[in-house]
Amino acid sequence: MKGERQASLGGPKDGDLGALFDRVYGELRGMAHKIMLAKPPGQTLQPTALVHEAYVRLLHNEKDGQKPWVNRAHFMGAAAQAMRRIIIEDARRKRSLRRGGSYVRVDLEAVRVVSDADPDLLLMIDEAVCRLARLHPVKAEVVKLLFFGGLTAAEAGEVLGLSDRTVKRYWAFARAWLYDELRQ
């Protein structure tokens, strides 16, 4: 089935972003659902809204003349990045509403779905990931796709063109590096 989905999603010559989005909507909805799964009830950010906001951002990028998507993996990586930005902006908005609060020490490995994390912790992690990106860009991309995007190691490997084993190795390195950064 996965091969069917990938084969059915052609490159940019097969249609515009709307047609592409229609073909992968269910998969994007599932990705957003995984991301939002641990979020407490009553939150303002819902999976459907996350997918639709990501679509609007991708549409805006396409209109700005950014590079069209080469394949399904490239599109899904762009969608995961858009969702990450939306989650971070939501966390910033929530933090600005409360202005402070107590920091809670949370093991990065325990926070697999970012939506269950404290907004302040998410922002600290995002800042650390930005620092990691300056030193190890591919390892930072692995963090963005696994931690913020909710992708599996196999899916992230497909997006980045890496083997599953390499993604897991980079993820282990990045977790250790981020743990050390956040400890300081």
Reported pTM: 0.51
Average pLDDT over residues 68-77: 79
Chain-centroid distance, C-alpha 138: 14
Average pLDDT over residues 43-67: 78
| 1 compared with 170, residue with greater pLDDT | 170
- Residue 139 tokens read as 């390892």
Residue pLDDT, tens place only, 91-142:
777 776 555 444 455 555 554 545 556 777 788 888 889 999 999 999 999 9
DSSP, residue by residue, 140-176: HHHHIIIIIT---HHHHHHHHT--HHHHHHHHHHHHH
Residue 149 contacts residue 84 (beta carbons within 8 Å): yes
Separation CA 150–CA 113 (nearest Å): 7
The answer to whether residue 2 scores a pLDDT higher than 50 is no
Per-domain boundaries in the chain: 2-183
Percentage, residues of the chain above pLDDT 70: 71
Residue pLDDT, tens place only, 16-44:
667 777 788 888 888 888 877 755 555 67
Residue-wise burial string across 67-87, b where 16 or more C-beta atoms lie within 10 A, e elsewhere: eebeebbbbbbbbbbbbbbbb
